Structure formats: structure tokens, C-alpha cells
Structure 1
Amino acid sequence: MQVAAKQNNVSLTTIYGGGNRHIQLAELKQYLQYNPKPDYAILINYPGGAEQSMSLLEQHKVNFITLEETIVGVERDEVGKPRQRFKYWLGEVFHDNFKAGEQLGKALLNEAINAKQTPHFVAINGHYGTESDTRSDGLVHYLRKQDVELEQVVYASWNKQEAENKVSRLLQRYPDTNVIWCASDLMAQGALEAVKGKKDKAYFIGGIDWLDDNLDLIEQQKLTASVGGHFMMGAWALISVVDHHNGNPYWQNHDAIKFQLGVITKHNIQSYSWLRNIQDWSVIPFETFLLQNSKSTEYAFDFDTLHSLLSEKPKNTALH
């Protein structure tokens, strides 16, 4: 996000909310009190604090974009959709968690079939909430279409040790299990620990996040797959802000940008080495993704496009 800002002549200030809605609100209040009003704000809403943060930005007449779909239920009903209650709320930028669950399920199933194994699935979810449930819903939907049974979905609170414990119990309950779908890479590491030393069969394990350790394990063929790419979300939001500043009508006609994540397996991990080896993100020509620089009305935020554009150079206009 910082590199995308620099390339497009945007002054970017980062405020840290400490993962806490009260701290975030206090920091935001302090910033708005002692600094010139920014043109835009990009933020993650914390459950229970969305209305206050958004009301504060609205009061200061700051256009803002939210990242991820973190607000659900009654709170979601209260804040509404972008530009309904909060007219300065341009929209949301988030990754397709449902599709991510499907993508991971498909990669794991394909590997089991390629190895001539009958797939027996269990799923390790994060916590009881929209993000993890949407991921497992994607898996359930995909397996139903493939007529493959999912033995059970359990929750491990995004925790490696808890995932290891839960997988150990699931293997006792369902001894035929050979495919373990995990809603995060850290929990996939826990699942791998749980099957360590078991020589009776091949296990196909994958998660979501593109953690570097997991990519190493895929390279070593100890893990099967990882879905990721959501670390680019801030950069994608910033690109849309630059377009809006320059008069592009995207945020007048849309209230969201939903982008797909990528899947890494042993079959394509070498083609992602460029991404893993980047020390200087300025090699990516972020301005190429601007709608003002293309004939499209929709954003092409994907890693194939990123890879193919690594040789181009940047330019653009100023905002704060």
C-alpha cells in the first residue's frame, strides 16, 4: 500500500488501532483533531465500533473505504450499505471468502484423486463468525457438487495447537480421513503436526494465508495447498481512491470490490517465486491497475496480471 501510494503521488499516513475498536477510535479522533483533514481514509471496521468510526469520518466529511466484511447481523443493519446512511462511505474492498473455500477444497480434492486416493474430508474452521463460516460454506458447496462427503467441520479458533488437538480427535473418530481442509495456514501447520509419524496413508492438507512457512512446506511436498493474496487489499483500495480522486465513476456505480485469491500447490509454486522473492515492492507498476489507464470499467486485481506487468514504470497526480 505504501509503494502504491508513493508511485501515485499520494501522501499516506498509517494509524495503528492495536486490533482494538476503542484504541482505533481514540487514535482516529486524535489524528483528525491535530492534522489537516485527509481527502480519504481506508480502514478496517472492528465489530462493535463500526458506527462510531464511520460517524466520526462522516462528521469530518472524509471519503472512506472499508476493508474486509467484518460487520454482520444487527450492527450491519445499523450501518447499512455504502452511501445509504453514510454518504461519505464509498464502498468496501474484500476478498471472496466463499470462493477461497471452494478453491482450497478443489485443490485438495484434485491432489487426492491424482494420487488415486478416495477422498475423505474433514474441515478445521477458525471461529464462529462470518469470515471462517463463509470459507467453510464454500467448501461445503463445492463438495456437494462433486458428490463428496464432508465428515465434520470443527472450530479451532485460528490456533495451531488447538487445530492439532482437534485433528487428532477427528482422526480417531474418522480413521479413513485423508484430506484436511483448514481455514488458515497456521491451523494447517497444526493439522500437519497431528499426522506426523503416521505412515499408513498420504494426507492432503491445506490452508489459507500464503504464510511463508507453509509455502516452504508445499515446496517440500509436506503440505498440499495454500490460498492467499489478501495482503494486497490495502493497495487495491488505494488504487480505487486514486481513480475516484481523478474522476473515475467506479464508486458511483458500485459499492464493493470483491477480488479472488490465488491457489499455490506444488504444481505452480515455482511460478510464484517472483512474489516470494520481492524485496523492493516498487518493481510492481501499481498505476497499471488504475481504471483511468485502461478501457475496462472493472478492476483486474489478480496475481497473473501483477506478474505480467513487472517491467512497466509509474506516474500520477497528488492527493492526501
Structure 2
Amino acid sequence: MALSRAHADPSSVLFLNPGKAQESFWGDVDGLMAAAAEDLDLRLEVFHAEREHFRMAEFLAARLKRPPLPDYVVLTNERQVGPKLLQLLHAYPIPVLFILNDITPQQRSELALDPHWAQYLLPAVVPDNNWIGGQTMSKLLAQGAAGSPQVIMISGDKSTPASMARDAGAKEALAQHKPARLLQQVYGQWDELTAYGQMQVLLRRYPDVTHIWTANDHMAFGALRALIEAGRVPGQNVWLSSINISPRVLQLRQQGRISVLGGGHFVAGALGLLLIDEHRQARSLPAVTDLSLFTLIEPATPLFSRLLRREWREIEFKRQKAQTEQWTRLDSWLQ
């Protein structure tokens, strides 16, 4: 039987953030969600798991014993922890929304047969990671004059859905570029120091590498440091791509040390709050499954300037609710 809830705030949202508050991507997710919550009159509570996914289950189990309970919970299926979190929430009449990394379609189909989750599991907000993986790889391979690009991939991890989708898109693009050769793929665990150490080893193993694809900015920073220490000149005799829009990576993109950059999926959390606002007003939720959220980030464009400013509170989130057809366009969010 569902347990009764006592609410101090009828519009409270708990977000279990799998990352670190100081981490570039997850910090941007937090910042945009905080701005959206303020504009939408929602009270946002955020817990950071510090990249230790098991801490999400530990925190949630303890939080559900402490009233008042949240009205909504926002989750991310980082390292496939989603089903465990749903088990903990099953006894509570709390609508749940996944962002960025969803459970599998098969798991959703099975949960749809459960009367509880048929009512309380909301549509997920998942960006097209396959698309951005392919786009960044394709543009990366077009950089430089190398007739036969020698490629290294520094991926995130082996189990997170977003990581696997980015890898798949990148490999599809690589396969279409016949002269290119994948030297090795490693998993940097989204971490700068890990990628730095890996790149040092890889440069000794593959001194002729010309193109390096990375799945996020932190790993790009580590790879870049190793390349510079080895005497390579990024943007001239080696080319890097990455994903995310942190101030540091934007600066490196301006300088040409990062040759290709994709980003925009940090808006998924704010979009999730827009859906929650619609749900709490008993409105039908718009389809969000076909949204890209990603784009290639180019210097000297209005979008690039807005990303540098990072004035998230300038965004009119209430206006966004009337423009669902533009939710896939990052520039429409940052007008």
C-alpha cells in the first residue's frame, strides 16, 4: 500500500545528481535547473553522488524516511542504477522522471504493466547521444591534412546508456570514413586525471596518432595536457574533439586547441522541470522522445557568446512551455 505523505511544499522536486557539484557538466545541469525552478515556482533539492552511483540508492533510502517527502523525483540511470532506485520508490505515490540516461525500453514496457508505475513513471528526457557521437567524430575526421587519420577514442564508461550511445555513433561515423583507422578505445571514466594517464601511455604506444575523440570535456583536458607535454601541437599536428560546454572547453575551442565541440544536453534537467510543471497542472505531456538537445558549438556565433555569459536566469522558462516545437534547438533556450 502506498504510504501517505506530508508536504511542506506542494511543488517540491528532488534531483539525484550522479556527478559532482563542481563538475562542469553537472554543475551546468544544476545551474539551469535552479533557474528553471525559480521561474516555475518549484522548490528544488539536489543531492550529488560524487560519481559514486551507489550513493544515490543510499541517500534515497534515507531521504524517503524523512518527511516531508518530495512531490517529484528526478533520476538519472547512471551505471544502470535506475531499477534499484525505482524499487526504493515503489511504495510511494511520487511521480518519477528520468533525464539524460533512461532505463531500457524493455524495462519501461515491463513497468508499464505495473499499476503503480503506469501512473507514476513519467516520460524520460533523453538527448540523442548517438547523433552527437557521430557528428563530432565526422567533423573530427575532416580536420587536418592526414590522408589516413589514426584515431584514438577516449570514452566515458562501459555501462551508462549515454556513454554507449555516444560510442556507437562515433564508431558508425568512423566506419564510414574508410581511410581512418581506430588505433585503440579506452574508458577514461569521465575523469581528467584518468584520461591524462591513459593518453601518456597511448602516445608511447601510438606515436603517429593524429585524431583523438573524447566523450566529455574533462577527459579532453587530460588528453590535451599529455599531448602538450609530449611536444604535440593540438590544432596543427593532432586534432581533438569533445562534448560539453564548460567555460574552459569553450576557451580551448576558441583557441583552436579543441577542434570540434558538441554540447547542449545540459538543458535536459530544466526541460524535465517544464514537464513536471505541466504534470502538476494535470496537463498532457508533450512528446520529448525525438529531441536532439545537442548541437555543434562554433566560435564567433551568437550561441557561443551566450554560452560564455552563462546567464541562466535570463532565460524565460515559462515562455519555453509555449514553444515545445523549439525545445530541440539550443539557441531557442538561450535567447
Q: Report the TM-score, using the length of structure 2 for normalisation.
A: 0.75
Instruction: Identify the residue that residue 316 of structure 2 maps to in structure 1.
Output: 285
Q: Which amino acid letter does the alignment assign opposite residue 64 of structure 1? A: V
Instruction: Report the Cα offset of residue 131 of structure 1.
Output: 3.2
Instruction: Report the Cα offset of residue 62 of structure 1.
Output: 0.9
Instruction: Report the Cα offset of residue 167 of structure 1.
Output: 3.7
Instruction: Identify the residue that residue 151 of structure 1 maps to in structure 2.
Output: 182
More contact order relative to length (CA 8 Å, sep ≥ 6): 1
Instruction: Identify the residue that residue 44 of structure 2 maps to in structure 1.
Output: 12
Instruction: Report the Cα offset of residue 20 of structure 1.
Output: 4.5
Tell me if 1:240 matches 2:272: no
Runs of 5+ consecutive residues of structure 2 not aligned to the other structure: 1-32
Q: Which amino acid letter does the alignment assign opposite residue 283 of structure 1? A: E
Instruction: Identify the residue that residue 61 of structure 1 maps to in structure 2.
Output: 93
Instruction: Report the Cα offset of residue 31 of structure 1.
Output: 3.6
C-alpha distance in structure 2 between counterparts of 1:81 and 1:276, whole Å: 43
Q: Deviations over 1:276-307 (max 9, x none)?
A: 2134x2210112221xx24x5x5623312123
SS in 1 for 2:122: strand
Instruction: Report the Cα offset of residue 78 of structure 1.
Output: 5.5
Instruction: Identify the residue that residue 214 of structure 1 maps to in structure 2.
Output: 249
Tell me if 1:198 matches 2:227: no
Q: Work out whether residues 82 and 91 of structure 1, in 8 Å CA contact, stay in contact via their aligned partners in 2.
A: no
Where do 1:232-271 residues align within 5 Å?
232-250=267-285, 256=289, 258-266=291-299, 268=301, 271=303
Q: Which amino acid letter does the alignment assign opposite residue 275 of structure 2? A: S
Where do 1:77-92 residues align within 5 Å?
80=109, 83-85=112-114, 86-87=117-118, 88-92=120-124
SS in 1 for 2:212: strand
Instruction: Report the Cα offset of residue 168 of structure 1.
Output: 4.6
SS in 2 for 1:304: helix
Tell me if 1:138 matches 2:165: no
C-alpha distance in structure 1 between counterparts of 2:303 and 2:315, whole Å: 16
C-alpha distance in structure 1 between counterparts of 2:176 and 2:81, whole Å: 39
Instruction: Report the Cα offset of residue 103 of structure 1.
Output: 1.7
Q: Work out whether residues 8 and 287 of structure 1, in 8 Å CA contact, stay in contact via their aligned partners in 2.
A: yes
Q: Which amino acid letter does the alignment assign opposite residue 243 of structure 1? A: E
Which residue of the other structure, out of 138, 142, 158, is the alignment partner of 1:128?
Answer: 158
Q: Deviations over 1:88-126 (max 9, x none)?
A: 1112222221111112112323333xxx44350332222
SS in 2 for 1:92: coil
RMSD: 3.1
C-alpha distance in structure 2 between counterparts of 1:171 and 1:29, whole Å: 45
C-alpha distance in structure 2 between counterparts of 1:180 and 1:2, whole Å: 34
Runs of 5+ consecutive residues of structure 1 not aligned to the other structure: 310-320
Against the structure 1 CA distance between its residues 126 and 147, is the aligned structure 2 distance closer, same or farther, given a 3 Å change threshold?
same
Q: Work out whether residues 82 and 255 of structure 1, in 8 Å CA contact, stay in contact via their aligned partners in 2.
A: no
Tell me if 1:302 matches 2:329: yes
C-alpha distance in structure 1 between counterparts of 2:201 and 2:51, whole Å: 32
Percent identity for Structure 1 against Structure 2: 23
Q: Deviations over 1:166-212 (max 9, x none)?
A: 44554555554322111222222232233322369522111122232
Against the structure 1 CA distance between its residues 259 and 243, is the aligned structure 2 distance closer, same or farther, given a 3 Å change threshold?
farther
Q: Which amino acid letter does the alignment assign opposite residue 132 of structure 2? A: A
C-alpha distance in structure 2 between counterparts of 1:51 and 1:245, whole Å: 24
Q: Deviations over 1:151-172 (max 9, x none)?
A: 2332142343443444455455
Q: Which amino acid letter does the alignment assign opposite residue 91 of structure 2? A: Q
Q: Work out whether residues 160 and 190 of structure 1, in 8 Å CA contact, stay in contact via their aligned partners in 2.
A: yes
Q: Report the TM-score, using the length of structure 1 for normalisation.
A: 0.78
Tell me if 1:100 matches 2:132: yes
Instruction: Identify the residue that residue 147 of structure 2 maps to in structure 1.
Output: 118
Q: Which amino acid letter does the alignment assign opposite residue 198 of structure 1? A: R
Instruction: Identify the residue that residue 184 of structure 1 maps to in structure 2.
Output: 216
Against the structure 1 CA distance between its residues 199 and 49, is the aligned structure 2 distance closer, same or farther, given a 3 Å change threshold?
closer
Matched residues, number: 294
